[in-house]
Amino acid sequence: AQKITQTQPGMFVQEKEAVTLDCTYDTSDPSYGLFWYKQPSSGEMIFLIYQGSYDQQNATEGRYSLNFQKARKSANLVISASQLGDSAMYFCAMREGAGTASKLTFGTGTRLQVTL
Amino acid sequence: EPEVTQTPSHQVTQMGQEVILRCVPISNHLYFYWYRQILGQKVEFLVSFYNNEISEKSEIFDDQFSVERPDGSNFTLKIRSTKLEDSAMYFCASSEVEGFSNQPQHFGDGTRLSIL
From chain B, the residues in CB contact with A50 under 8 A are: 102, 104
Say yes or no to pLDDT of A108 above 90. Answer: yes
Rounded-to-integer distance, Cα B46 and Cα B67, Å: 10
Torsion region of A98: left, alpha or beta (phi above 0 gives left; psi -120 to 50 gives alpha) = alpha
- Chain B CA closest to residue A100: B101
Total beta-carbon pairs less than 8 A apart between chain A and chain B: 78
Please give the pLDDT value at position B101: 57
- Interchain CB contact of A37 with B (< 8 Å): yes
- pLDDT single digits (tens) A66-90: 999 999 999 999 999 999 999 999 9
- Chain A CA closest to residue B106: A47
From A44, A52, A109, residue closest to B42, measured CB to CB:
A109
Task: Output the tens digit of pLDDT for each of chain B's 116 residues.
Answer: 779 999 999 999 999 999 999 999 998 888 999 999 999 889 999 999 988 899 999 999 999 999 999 887 899 999 999 999 999 999 999 988 655 556 788 999 999 999 99
Residue B93 vs residues A2, A97, B63, B82, B106: alpha-carbon distances, Å: 23, 18, 21, 22, 5
Query: What is the 3-state secondary structure of B7-65?
Result: ECCEEEECCCCCEEEEEECCCCCCEEEEEEECCCCCEEEEEEEECCEEEEECCCCCCCE
Please give the pLDDT value at position A80: 97
Long-range pairs, B48-57, Cβ under 8 A, ≥24: B48/A101, B48/A102, B48/A103, B49/B75, B50/A101, B50/B97, B55/A101, B55/B31, B56/A102, B56/A103
Query: Do residue A99 and residue B108 have CB atoms under 8 angstroms apart?
Result: no
